[in-house]
Structure 1
């Protein structure tokens, strides 16, 4: 028993030493990466936190890209798509608190507060509406809520396999346990993610194999992943997901806003039943609602960026 106790103590000490080493190495690397890869857009101070707003292009219509939950580097994540739209439109990528180059925030994940920060950041950065919103996944809720509250600010919603309220209000929907999420949060905060093998890193960042990104893009994507993977802001957003979905559901469908959804036939969102069917059904209630089924996974803008860019241009020409 004494030997077992000593072994246990030794093992605990080694684990503690590993955590300490990982934490200090992570902090050191974050400082180096911040110098090497500064924000490509503007850092806008909103409620004492800096939000990153990236803009390119000079078109008369502005497309606002809104990232799904847990997307660590939205600006680069959307690049395979937005880079193909610059010839006709102004594009803007909003990185919420805790995403990409934006600062962390202990603020609430309440959809009202998130939307107001997004609107304020855009206005302070000099971007004027009305906008065409391009939300991916969970940010579909925020886009719909925006159209409900401020319809004059929204020209259309172009959803990239976007979430709608019914996805999260289905009785079969179950979130990962808080213990699982906080274990992953702890691992990312002390930098254990830096010790992933290349295959595991590519599984988390499939764009590392993309031909649409440069070598430097991929280096930036990896660096921002280490900085902003599963942050406290993302956890707060997950905590509010059912409450936010209920709020958007109560407000009804903004049926006067044109919508076009790109729906993934092979979405890997197994925790959310009827994802595909609910999206097509939602558009039945929209006066100008269209959708296109794509033989892809959930990140449709990674796998079908050429097709989606062509369809976005066609849709906007027809509507405006």
Structure 2
């Protein structure tokens, strides 16, 4: 009996030591990595906070890029697409609160607040006419946005963008578990053991390292977790909205989405009443702008030219 007690005590001590080590290493790494972040873009005052915005290119038309949910460093994540678009357009990447180098906010991450904050950032920059190009959940925010600011948006482009009627949006989100993973340091450990979890485009090693550091900094922060808690209600909030009939509308979708039933028909439904609507598919995953930026940019430019020729 004494031997078993001794074995159990040793095992408990090892487990406690392991947990403590993971926690301490995470705290130390957080402090070290904070000093390694290389700033980019510019900070814009929005609702009493600072929102980071990257502007590149000087074309006559402006394209505003909006990220998918939980993208750690949007301006770096969009790098391949920015490089394809910036020779022809002024490209503006919005990093919402809790993303990239923007502040974290305590304000609820409702579709209304997110859209209003994005608009305020553009107003602060005196950007009043632009094309919205959004990835993933920005299809939901973009739908609300173009209905509120129809006179400002000249076209909407969805990159495998979300649709209000898609399934699986009402599943519960274990925010408490995610928060514990981050605070305990286990999320960092998991990222170390499985580097493939880091979603990043094909960029140079220095940029990829910045994406890793900023993603770890932002993972499961209060803004991102709050946004996840509002996913179901945000989808619900726009379910009766449709894109304005005369707004040029094009969707670039992955050809073989096995996760969402009817992915392509759902988008075809969104363009059915559009005067200028189009759906294009590419082989690739959800992050098409990582691997298909050249094709997206070329087909987008062709589409916009077709719209102008018709007008």
Q: TM-score, normalised by structure 1?
A: 0.87
1:292 aligns with 2:291: no
1:19-30 matches, cutoff 5 A: 19-30=22-33
Structure 1 residues 279, 4: closer, same or farther in 2, change over 3 A?
A: farther
1:187-202 matches, cutoff 5 A: 187-196=181-190, 200-202=194-196
What does the per-residue CA deviation read over 1:149-196, in whole Å, with 9 as the maximum and x for residues that have no partner? 1100100001101112111xx4x5553x433x4323332345444435
Unaligned runs of 5+ in 1: none
1:199-278 matches, cutoff 5 A: 200-207=194-201, 210=202, 213-267=203-257, 270=259, 272-278=260-266
Counterpart residue number, 2:179:
185
Report if aligned partners of 1:264, 1:294 keep a CA contact under 8 Å in 2.
yes
Structure 1 residues 110, 146: closer, same or farther in 2, change over 3 A?
A: same
Report if aligned partners of 1:26, 1:191 keep a CA contact under 8 Å in 2.
no
Q: TM-score, normalised by structure 2?
A: 0.89
Counterpart residue number, 1:316:
304
More moved, 13-22 vs 302-311: 13-22
1:1-320 matches, cutoff 5 A: 2-3=5-6, 6-7=9-10, 9-34=12-37, 37-38=38-39, 40-124=40-124, 126-167=125-166, 170=167, 173-175=169-171, 177-179=172-174, 181-196=175-190, 200-207=194-201, 210=202, 213-267=203-257, 270=259, 272-320=260-308
Report if aligned partners of 2:23, 2:185 keep a CA contact under 8 Å in 1.
no
Larger Rg: 2
Counterpart Cα distance in 2 of 1:178 and 1:155: 35
Aligned-residue RMSD, C-alpha:
2.2
- How many residues get paired? 305
